[in-house]
Amino acid sequence: MGRGGTGALPPAADCAGAAGPRAGGRAPRGSWAAAMLLSRCPSSSRARQCFHALKLIKRECLPSLHIARCVSTASVPRITTHYTIHPRDKDKRWEGVNMERFAEEADVVIVGAGPAGLSAAIRLKQLAAEHSKEIRVCLVEKASQIGAHTLSGACLEPRSLQELFPDWKERGAPLNTPVTEDKFGILTKKYRIPVPILPGLPMVNHGNYIVRLGHFVSWLGEQAEALGVEVYPGYAAAEVLFHEDGSVKGIATNDVGIQKDGAPKATFERGLELHAKVTVFAEGCHGHLAKQLYKKYNLREKCQPQSYGIGLKELWTIDEKKWKPGRVEHTVGWPLDRHTYGGSFLYHLNEGEPLVALGFVVGLDYQNPYLNPFREFQRWKHHPSVQPTLEGGTRIAYGARALNEGGFQSIPKLTFPGGLLIGCSPGLMNVPKIKGTHTAMKSGMLASEAIFSQLINENLQSKTIGLDVQEYEENLKKSWVWKELYAVRNIRPSCHSILGVYGGMIYTGIFYWILRGMEPWTLKHPGPDFAQLKPAKDCTPIEYPKPDGKISFDLLSSVALSGTNHEHDQPAHLTLKDDSIPVNRNLAVFDGPEQRFCPAGVYEYIPLETGEGSRLQINAQNCVHCKTCDIKDPSQNINWVVPEGGGGPAYNGM
């Protein structure tokens, strides 16, 4: 063993030495541990550990040696120019530029005009009217129009809408398609195995409506404006402001007029500060400000890491003969293997013309870096049970968005001094039901009720300048939202066993259908999504079929249909903490998974003009604000920040 050990020592020493200083101290931890283990393992009883350590070195150290050699002297072209990475106070080009901001005072500021944010705004104004009080509610939204960044299946459970507006029908809420049929199937390459949906299972849709959520959100926006909410679409909340005591003071909207290289333009103007007694963060799944708040207030201390999926969606007008308004279809199985969570949806809308909303979700805890969610979606459409519906039809829209799959276990602390989190931002989606809108709306309403009672309480003694509305979290925990999420908490994690998704289905059948979530245990998630990716050399590339241009399509024409656009002369909002990591780690170890998981073709590894090697090109203009890259980057190097307001997709009723 000693000989084996000595034999192995030179590489270890080399590795530890070389990887250390040359690669700038970025040696993988495994190699250090392995080297330590080897130097201390004289007896044969530790033989297995040593061999294992050897394997570790081989796997982790050699690639980095290679990198050390290739990259040590080569300079990395600057990719990121955003001021969140390169602060302006140290930048000569910003000397003398007036950085003052105007400020406006409101009672409540809400970030994000989705179902949660709008429900919160509406509820506040309803309460104000009931109590004859005046409160100023400002809502900022990065989309140029309310609903333009909204994307969802969607099957709406009208429970929360009924509470918010009992007269929603008279008010013209666009719930035009009651669900008439619910179908579920398991797909194999050629066949579809129907699965009966027994009453009591979470995916029963009786009483629900198929909606175009973007239109529903637009309608909510109109109701909000009618009630006096100040709605500001086209303005993104870019920064959280804090009081001296650490509580949230409000937000500042994005600056405008910065060039692509980070220098100020002649039209440069600072954003506006909106100060509030309470700031409600309703940014949706994986919000960028929420990310900062988790860190600052340690909100994720006691919960599991959030787990996500990416949802891709298209709208098609189809042949009338194939149109079955009110039909809801879900599948699992092909083209994903049982270890990759995901499945499809296909909903037949009933709004006059034969329109279907269809899409595919892939759990972002997938392990194979060669997996391409967009192409899985495109090839699913060719399945013999799906293709006939689409034949003769026309695709009219495309989009994508990340969604939460962590469920109950991943809900963080929801309140902090001066602010709180509602909706998909903390993650209240009922994963097996695939519904989050009703819980998002309810959380917004509960938040407003708690905020309002503090606002009108004249004897309120707040410890901090920004109000800490803890009653919101307490009330949410007492509400039906909590019970519902608790009951289904184990279904998604039950898919992590060897049986994969089928294990999950069996678990649902046994434990949920019979026990309704009353089992005394709570299963865990295996860890954050980005850490599940295996190195490329351990995985097999997937052969995807070429798009045929009739049923399946290429990425760029799809991105064009999303209507996405950004002012091109601005710093890329997909910022990298370290510009060298994409090529050095993501490409070297994982073969650049961002080229595959981005549903908009933002990330491309282009061969260098000088011959060897590649560089990362970020096509920020294509971004559809799905947040998948921020979630799945195995190096967690990508930090999505908000671009100039108004940019992004132009979804119409998605």
Given 89, 96, 244, 266, the residue binding another protein (CB under 8 A):
266
Given 9, 70, 204, 256, the residue binding another protein (CB under 8 A):
256
| Contact flag: residue 565 with another protein (CB under 8 A) | yes
Interface map 354-393 toward another protein (x if CB under 8 A): ----------------------------------------
- Give the active site residue among 150, 247, 410, 437: 437
Q: Minimal CA–CA distance to 599: which of 348, 387, 378, 381?
A: 378
Query: For the purposes of burial, counting CB atoms within 10 Å of the CB of 446, is it exposed (0-12), middle (13-18) or buried (19 or more)?
Result: buried
Strand partners, 186: 193, 332
Query: For this structure, is 61 an active site residue?
Result: no
Cβ proximity to another protein: between 266 and 498 the closer is 266
Query: For this structure, is 50 an active site residue?
Result: no
| Contact flag: residue 563 with another protein (CB under 8 A) | yes
- Tell me the site size for another protein, rule CB under 8 A: 29
Which parts of 393-412 interact with another protein (CB under 8 A)? 396-397
Q: Minimal CA–CA distance to 150: which of 208, 103, 102, 212?
A: 212
Query: For this structure, is 401 an active site residue?
Result: yes
CB 64 within 8 A of CB 26: yes
How far is the C-alpha of 67 from the C-alpha of 234, rounded, in Å? 43
Indicate the DSSP class of residue 582.
Answer: I
| Contact flag: residue 422 with another protein (CB under 8 A) | no
Q: Which stretch binds another protein (CB under 8 A): 162-170, 260-268, 448-456, 506-514?
A: 260-268
Q: Which stretch binds another protein (CB under 8 A): 51-59, 181-189, 264-272, 507-515?
A: 264-272
Query: For this structure, is 424 an active site residue?
Result: no
Q: How far is the CB of 269 from another protein (least distance, A)?
A: 5
Indicate the DSSP class of residue 143.
Answer: S
Given 49, 83, 91, 144, the residue binding another protein (CB under 8 A):
144
Query: What are the tokens at 598?
Result: 């981005």
Query: For this structure, is 437 an active site residue?
Result: yes
Which parts of 92-121 interact with another protein (CB under 8 A)? 102, 104
Q: Which amino acid is at 370?
A: Y
Query: What are the tokens at 534?
Result: 């295996």
Residues 6 or more apart whose CB falls under 8 angstroms from that of 151 comprise 213, 214, 311, 313, 399, 400, 401, 649, 651, 654
Q: Which stretch binds another protein (CB under 8 A): 322-330, 382-390, 431-439, 557-565?
A: 557-565
Q: Minimal CA–CA distance to 140: which of 290, 243, 252?
A: 252
Given 83, 94, 168, 232, the residue binding another protein (CB under 8 A):
232
Helices and strands (H, E) in the chain, number of each type: 20, 26
Q: In a 3-state reduction of DSSP, which class is residue 232?
A: strand
| Contact flag: residue 47 with another protein (CB under 8 A) | no
Q: How far is the CB of 509 from another protein (least distance, A)?
A: 41
Query: For this structure, is 495 an active site residue?
Result: no
* Helix (H) / strand (E) containing 640: strand 638-640
End-to-end CA distance of the chain: 64
* Contact residues for another protein, defined by CB under 8 A: 102, 104, 140, 144-145, 148, 232, 234-235, 253, 256-257, 265-267, 269, 271-272, 396-397, 560-561, 563-565, 644, 650, 652-653
List, by residue number, the catalytic residues.
152, 401, 437, 598, 623, 626, 629
